[in-house]
Each structure stands twice: as structure tokens, then as C-alpha cells.
Structure 1
């Protein structure tokens, strides 16, 4: 078998292929005139709310503990979603009993294991750096999916993961001014949150396919 030699263009091509796969469906809808103004506004609102979430957490942790903040966020969100589902469907559909254990695991990954470390970390780490550290979640997702689901991780993906981890290491070291032993533990908490989010994504996949 011929020896494989990596070149930086492999990473460039992998990035281009990924962006094409992600953006092509939306681009096709725009070209065909099937993208509504409502969809565009929804996408824009989602991006703004996701980005502003880190800023909001940085402000809120000055007044609330990490646990209280998570409880307030999800208490309000749960109440709003409950009312919205009742108004939309007239009832709340219960999940299958066989899915209860997976739902519990999804809830564990998605709420306490993600938000508690994130909130605690943002007591020290800025919103901008926190968002970049949480952005490592897709890297962890690829690794977890490879281990748990047996999904194949290509060489190009591993190259991308290596580059991303190198960038993350530089970012974390910058918080310690170049001294590895001085890395704030709050930065590591945010990386734990990113890992928990990866577990959340992987475990919820069959539930999303079943319940939407």
C-alpha cells in the first residue's frame, strides 16, 4: 500500500467539503426561491441568541451561583415550551418507556454536566474565550461518535482535530500567559462542558429522529 503523506491542502479541501455539505441545502433553497423571510429571520435570531448567551452568562454569574443560574434558565425555558406545545398541539405527547433512560442521559449531559461547568468557568473566563472553547464541542463529538457509535473518522478529520486541539491549547495557555501550570481551572471546566455537550449530541440523535 502506498505511503500516505499529509499536505496542508488536505485540510483545506476537507474544510471546503464540510462547508459545501453544510451550506449547499440552504443555497439551493435560496436559488430556487424556496427560502422564506421567516426562515432567514429564524436563522439570524438563532445565531444572535446563541452568541449573546455567553455574554448573558458572564453578566449573570456576578449575581447568581452556577446552579441557580442553570435552574432559572431551564425553569423559564421549560415553562415557555410547555405552554407553547399546549397551544400548538393541545396536549403533551409522552415518550415511549424504552426511551426514558436515554432521555434521562440526554438531560444529564445537556443541563447539569454542560451548564454547571460552563457557568462556573465563566466566573473567570471571558465570554469571547468561553465561546471559542465551547466551539471545540464538534471535535469531541466526532471522537465520541467514533468510540460510541463506531462512526469512521477519516484521516482528514483527524488532521482537522489535531489542528483544532493545537489552537485550543494555545488559547488556554494564553490565559496562563504561557505557563502551563498556571492555567486557570475555570478554562478546563469549560472544556469539560464542551465534552458534555458532545455526549449530549451523540445520545440525543435517535431521539431527534423519532420525536423531532
Structure 2
């Protein structure tokens, strides 16, 4: 064994402190986004809300990009890959989640459905990105899903979700799962400011026709709308998405996706705090089950 090959594993183990903290911070920011987004959609059309979010993010990021001048993709194909990830995450995932909230779906129910993402990623990862999913991880996926179901089913205030809300949540699930696998397979190293600029510009461009066709141009400009929009711009759009893309590039797609198993219990907890979607004691059991599932999935995985 050569000296360079012996040094390679230890180099992989040495990772920046911010990357070690990224999973917990991402989980906090992402989970809080569900009840905050539901608050916002009670004051404005969901598509217009999404368009306002994209426009504000671009207004913040463009001056930063002009100041730092990070490199943009050198190839046209790389531009296309970034645009596709942006479309799947920003337009499909967020657009469908916001629309589901607007027609009455609870934050917890939507969070539960999109938490199925690790199952889809695990099924597709062997063929698309060369990951081998072992028995231990499959047990972890199952426990994570069971824990998420316990959290949501155990909540006494969950109301029946319409067929439209379920379909929108399922479309959001497909959008985020597709983005995770697409970024893992086709994504290239790129400065996060450049990547986010392309992706949010794609989101705005693809959302504007939907606003014109299906949106309503009325809004209640009050503290709740301004606060929710500010959080989603900074917490979700600028910080959480950057952390997600960084973790996808530095780790396996199925391992990163396992974080989404903890989103439903955390989102239910935040929803109880912010919008009075109460969570009974049995939901804490679901959180523990989901945490065990994530721990099982978090082991190192070999590649083909």
C-alpha cells in the first residue's frame, strides 16, 4: 500500500467544523420552514409568495456575487445541470409544498409525505450513483419511516388532507428526490453563491408563468407575512439549501437523505409551538424511533 493511499482515508476524516455541524443546523432550519411557510401562505397566494421569495433572494445574492466574483460554470452543460437542480428544488418542491399548505394541508402531514424521500433515493441510488444499500440501512429506513408515521398519526389535531393536498405533497417528494440524485450524479464543484444564483434565477423564471396563469395578486402585508418571508429567504433559501448541496457533494446521497426522516417530528414540534398543531406524548416515541433509524443509516457505506 502506497503512502498516498494510506493518507487518503485520514484526509477524508478531516473535515471542516462547519461541515460537522451542517446536519443539525440543516435539520433545524428545514423543519422550521414548514410551519413558517404555512403562516405565509395564509396571507398571500402560494405562487406569488414563492416568486417574492425568489426575487428577494436574488436581490441579496446578486450584489454579493458582483463583489466576490466567484467563477460561474465553464461549460454550457454545467449551467444546464445547475438549472435542473434549481427547477426540481425551487419550483417543484417548494411550489408544491406551498400550494398544499394554501389548500389546508397541515405542516406535519406534508412533512411526513416528503420524508419518504430516503426510500426513493435508496431505491434509485444503486443504479444512478453506484451506492450499495446494505441490510442495516434498510432497517434504518424502515424505522425512520415508522417513527415519522407515529409522530403524525399520534397528533390529535391532524385534520383530513384533501386529495389535491396529497398529490401536491407527492409531487414535492418526487421533486426533492430527483434533485438529490441529479445533483449527486451530475453536479460539479461550484462556488455556493454561483450555484444558488443560477438555481434561484431558474426558480424565478419557471415560476413567473405559473403566477401569471394560476396565481392571485392579492396579499395581506402584515408582520406575519414579512416575518415568514424574511425567514424563508435567509434561513431556507440562503443557508439551508447551501448546506444541503454541500452535504450532498461531500457524502452519499442516501446518507444525506436520511436526515429527512427527522424532519416530520421536528416540523411537528415547531408547528405545535408556532401554529398550535399540538403533539401528544406518543409523538415523542415516534421521534425516538426515527432517531434510531437515522443512526443506523449513518454508518459508512462502500461503493461499487
Bucket of the pairwise TM-score, normalised by the shorter protein: 0.5 to 0.7
- Equivalence for 2:34: 54
Is 2:190 the counterpart of 1:211? Answer: yes
* Pick aligned residue for 2:62 from 70, 82, 91: 82
In structure 2, C-alpha distance between the alignment counterparts of 1:188 and 1:207, rounded to whole Å: 28
Shifted more, 159-168 versus 72-81: the winner is 159-168
Is 2:133 the counterpart of 1:153? Answer: yes
Residues 188-209 of structure 1 deviation map (CA, whole Å, 9 limit, x = unaligned): 4223312311111111235654
- Equivalence for 1:109: 88
- Equivalence for 1:141: 121
Give unmatched runs, 5+ long, in structure 1. Answer: 1-24
With over 3 angstroms needed to count, the CA separation of the structure-2 counterparts of 1:47 and 1:160, relative to structure 1, is closer
Is 2:97 the counterpart of 1:118? Answer: yes
- Equivalence for 2:162: 184
In structure 2, C-alpha distance between the alignment counterparts of 1:43 and 1:165, rounded to whole Å: 18
- Equivalence for 2:44: 64
Is 2:175 the counterpart of 1:196? Answer: yes
With structure 2 as the length reference, what TM-score do the two structures score? Answer: 0.47
Residues 15-38 of structure 1 deviation map (CA, whole Å, 9 limit, x = unaligned): xxxxxxxxxx6xx88xxxx858xx
In structure 2, C-alpha distance between the alignment counterparts of 1:102 and 1:157, rounded to whole Å: 29
Count of paired positions: 177
In structure 2, C-alpha distance between the alignment counterparts of 1:75 and 1:46, rounded to whole Å: 23
CA contact (8 A) 1:140 1:198 kept: yes
**SS of the counterpart of 2:84?**
helix
With over 3 angstroms needed to count, the CA separation of the structure-2 counterparts of 1:198 and 1:99, relative to structure 1, is same
Which structure would you say has the larger RCO, counting Cα contacts within 8 Å and 6 or more residues apart? 2
In structure 2, C-alpha distance between the alignment counterparts of 1:88 and 1:190, rounded to whole Å: 37
Give unmatched runs, 5+ long, in structure 2. Answer: 1-12, 192-304
**SS of the counterpart of 1:122?**
helix
In structure 1, C-alpha distance between the alignment counterparts of 2:106 and 2:92, rounded to whole Å: 20
CA contact (8 A) 2:88 2:178 kept: yes
In structure 1, C-alpha distance between the alignment counterparts of 2:161 and 2:101, rounded to whole Å: 14
